[in-house]
Each structure stands twice: as C-alpha cells, then as structure tokens.
Amino acid sequence: MSETKKYPAPVTNPETAAFWDAAKQGKFMIKRCTACGEAHYFPRAICPFCYSDKTVWEESSGEATIYTWSLMRKSPTGPYAIAYVTLKEGPSLQTNIVDCDLEKLKIGQKVKVVFKPTDGAPLPFFTPV
C-alpha cells in the first residue's frame, strides 16, 4: 500500500525551508544547538532546550531504532505502521515504517531513512535495515 499511498506535500515555511530543500537532495537534516550541543527534531530556529538561537543544520546518518510502533488496521487507505524512531544522533521522531512486512515490527529494530515523493518536497519515512 505504501507505494501507492499519496502523501500531502509539505507547506514549508522560512524556519524549515532548508530541511525540505535538503530532502529534495535526499539528505535528512536535523538541527543542533552550538550553545548546549543538543540535537533536536523537528527543526526549530531557537533551541527548545537552552533557548539559544545558535542552532545549525546537520545531516543525520538516517540510522535509527524503533522506540515504539502501532499497526493501524482500520484505515480506508489500508493498514499502516506509525512509530517513533530514535536517531543515532539522539532525537526521537514520529514516522511510518514502510516497505516491509508490517506484522514483524519490533521495538529496538534497526531502521533507516527513506524518502517518499509528494507533489512538493519528499517526506522522510523509515524502513528496516
């Protein structure tokens, strides 16, 4: 189903445009604060931890592990797996696990980023390694 599912194009805004521009190049970006050193997601101009405005873009490895997941079985567009994954760089984020047997997902499973097209910038998803 995930191959045929149509995803909405990101609206984007001045704060997040660089993320979506990088996504078009196949790069998955996070933000890191150079004041406190913490990485965060989704990207903000002001660090949500120390409120410094010294945040910079950083390309993520795209490597992550599944923190939790749930397979939604009652959906007009077919079953899909929502999940939180924790990036190697630290932050956890909401996503879908795609392109795999959704019945076999496990907490702790290693996954990597994969982009899916929209009518605008592509969206990041994760798939088992």
Partner 1 sequence: MTIKGKAYIAGIFEHPTRHAPDKSTAQLHAEVAKGAIEDAGLSKDDVDGYFCAGDAPGGAWPMVDYLGLNTKKLRHVDSTETGGCSYIIHLGHAAEAIAAGKCSIALITLAGKPRTGAMPPRAAGAEADFELAYGATTHNAYGMCAMRHMHDYGTTSEQLAWIKVAASHHAQYNPHAMLKDVVTVEDVLNSPMISDPLHRMDCCVVSDGGGALIVTTPEIAKSLKKPLVRLIGHGEAMKGPRGGKDLDLTYSAGIWSGPRAFEEAGITPKDIKYASIYDSFTITVLMQLEDLGFCKKGEGGKFVADGNLISGVGKLPFNTDGGGLCSNHPVNRGGMTKILEAVRQLRGEAHPKVQVKNCDLAIAHGTGGLLGVRHAASTAILERV
**In the complex, which residues of this chain contact partner 1 (CB under 8 A)?**
7-8, 10-12, 15-16, 20, 38, 40-42, 44, 48-49, 67-75, 80, 82-84, 86-87, 90-96, 107, 118, 123
- Minimum CB separation of residue 68 from partner 1 in Å reads 4
Rounded least distance, CB 78 to partner 1, Å: 11
Considering the complex, state which of residue 26 and residue 48 has its C-beta at the smaller distance from partner 1: 48
Give min distance, CB of 113 to partner 1, in A. Answer: 13
**Residues with Cβ within 8 Å of residue 51, at least 6 apart in sequence:** none
Backbone angles phi, psi at 10, to 5 degrees: -60, 145
- Tokens representing 116 are 């899916």
Nearer to partner 1, 61 or 75 (CB): 75
| Helices and strands in the chain: count of H runs, count of E runs | 1, 8
Cβ(109)–Cβ(128) under 8 Å? yes
Residue 47 token pair: 């660090």
- Least CB distance to partner 1 at residue 129 (A): 20
